Amino acid sequence: MIPVQRPELGEDELKAVGAVFNSRWLGLGATTKEFEVRLKDILGVKHVLAVNTGTSALHLAIEALQLKLGDEVIVPSLTFVASVQAILMAGLKPVFCEVLPETLNLDLESVKRVITPRARVIMPVHYSGLACEMDEILAYAKSRQLRVVEDAAHAFGSAYKGRKVGTLGDLTCFSFDPIKNITCGEGGAVTTDNDELAGIMIPKRILGIENDTWSRYRNERNWSYEVVTPGYRYHLPNINAAIGLVQLDKMGRFRERKSAIVRRYDEALAGLDGLSLIRRNLDDTFPFCYIVRILRGRRNALAAHLKALGVITGVHYIPNHLQPLFQAQRQPLPVTEQLFEEIITLPLFYEMTDGEVEQVVNGVRTFFTQAK
Ligand SMILES: Cc1ncc(COP(=O)(O)O)c(C=O)c1O
């Protein structure tokens, strides 16, 4: 069976984990610091906080804005539930907006329809690695005095008009979970150029303790500590940072191979009647996943056809406004609901062989040519 996604991990990651293992300093420490410095250099951003998941990154980022309970965050319904749970964890209210069918990225016109006087934040989600139209979003946010917290879980390594994702909005959140562009096993990061926001997040990441991060970065621990704010246990441990550091070295290779597979898919699937490609920009995008739209109600039939041929597919994601949790406040989002019937995620991962790529391509093609 060809999976939808799979991390590439090898001897180098094992060796790096072994070194941390032997140091006996597994938690927040010098390796975490090294990972943060590397991310800062790669992205060209002032502050990077490495955390234990992308969800923690989002929660920490939203809380750093110090908003009032019940203030609103506008977020596409078509995102992983983690984006939405982070908003709820911060005591805020998610207000769902539409995405554009051509890109699956946030539709600013729909934001203008759902906005209320309690809106404080827009959360663009850079879907499948393609950056949202950030110039328009940032200009609109400025005009309405909204903060911009980017969910860039899919978009580590991507850029917008040549500017790196991670340097655009007030705060950007990455995920390094097992299937992301690079992995730490589990992990995430928040980036910002804003000193004040970084200052709020640093103690919150480690139980509200103010003076401990710097000594821990040297693999030391203070016996005395000061708790200055409510906080969480969200730091990225040394042991996960060690995996991430090795993956950063491989990032260029990962991107090249995944881009080549995306090019092949786009070329091979273009023009099929009943299949619509998503718009991509491979110059600026580190592609995370490969999604197409299957029209006229045939998506599930294609998934079954591919499964019978040994190809696993996915649907990313079930729109959040359709989840039971939001039933009471549900507003229709017709574009998102339509897209939910159409989207299918085909396998895309670094180690996919050319033969496996052709197996997927042939599977999709035969579905459209034979199963009329
Ligand atoms: C769009 C999106 N946001 C947030 C997250 C959360 O990241 P993590 O799994 O690292 O908590 C994910 C992870 O799948 C995601 O896809």
User: For residue 170, what is the domain's CATH number?
Assistant: 3.40.640.10
Centre of ligand 1 to C-alpha 174, Å, is 8
Same domain? 309 vs 335: yes
pLDDT bracket for residue 214 (50, 70, 90): confident
Let me know if residue 93 belongs to a domain.
Answer: yes
Let me know if residue 4 belongs to a domain.
Answer: no
Let me know if residue 2 belongs to a domain.
Answer: no
DSSP 119: E
The CATH number given to whatever domain includes residue 320 is: 3.90.1150.10
Contact at 8 Å (CB) between 126 and 119? no
Same domain? 202 vs 313: no
pLDDT bracket for residue 221 (50, 70, 90): confident
R_g (Cα) of the chain, nearest Å: 21
Cα–Cα distance list, 77 to 4, 115, 127, 331 (Å): 22, 14, 12, 11
> pLDDT for 28-82, tens place per residue?
999 999 999 999 999 999 999 999 999 999 999 999 999 999 999 999 999 999 9
Identify whether 232 is preceded by a cis peptide bond (ω within 30 of 0): no
Same domain? 216 vs 260: no
Contact at 8 Å (CB) between 122 and 94? no
CA 313 from centroid of its chain's CA atoms:
19
Length of the chain equals: 372
CA dist., res. 40 & res. 47, Å (int): 7
Same domain? 73 vs 160: yes
Q: What is the pLDDT of residue 227?
A: 94
Same domain? 93 vs 133: yes
| Structure-block tokens of residue 171 | 């705060």
| Domain boundary residue, one of 226, 246, 266 | 246
Same domain? 151 vs 197: yes
> pLDDT for 176-186, tens place per residue?
999 999 999 99
Same domain? 58 vs 145: yes
Centre of ligand 1 to C-alpha 234, Å, is 15
| Domain boundary residue, one of 228, 246, 264 | 246
Q: Among residues of the chain, what percentage have pLDDT more than 90?
A: 94
| Protein residue with least CA distance to atom 7, ligand 1 | 54
Let me know if residue 66 belongs to a domain.
Answer: yes
Of these residues, 93, 164, 180, 204, which one is catalytic? Answer: 180
Q: What is the pLDDT of residue 371?
A: 56
Same domain? 219 vs 268: no
Same domain? 229 vs 294: no
Same domain? 139 vs 204: yes
| Protein residue with least CA distance to atom 1, ligand 1 | 80
The pTM for the full model equals 0.97
pLDDT bracket for residue 372 (50, 70, 90): low
Which amino acids bring their CB within 6 angstroms of ligand 1? 53-55, 79-80, 82-83, 125, 151, 153-154, 175, 177, 188
Atom number, ligand 1, closest to the C-alpha of residue 79: 1
- CB count in 10 Å sphere of residue 283: 8
Domain count, the chain: 2
Phi-psi region of 235 (alpha: psi -120 to 50; beta: other; left: phi over 0): beta
Q: Which residue has the tokens 């309690």?
A: 118
> pLDDT for 285-318, tens place per residue?
999 999 999 999 999 999 999 999 999 999 999 9
Same domain? 227 vs 211: yes
Q: What is the extent of the structural domain holding 162?
A: 11-97+105-246
For 331, counting Cβ atoms within 10 Å of its Cβ (0-12 exposed, 13-18 middle, 19+ buried), the class is: exposed
| Protein residue with least CA distance to atom 16, ligand 1 | 80
Same domain? 242 vs 302: no
Centre of ligand 1 to C-alpha 85, Å, is 11
| Domain boundary residue, one of 246, 264, 287 | 246
CA dist., res. 270 & res. 267, Å (int): 6
Is 180 one of the annotated active-site residues of the chain? yes
Question: Ligand 1: which of 123, 177, 247 to mutate, most ligand atoms within 8 Å of CB?
Answer: 177
Contact at 8 Å (CB) between 350 and 258? yes
Centre of ligand 1 to C-alpha 224, Å, is 35
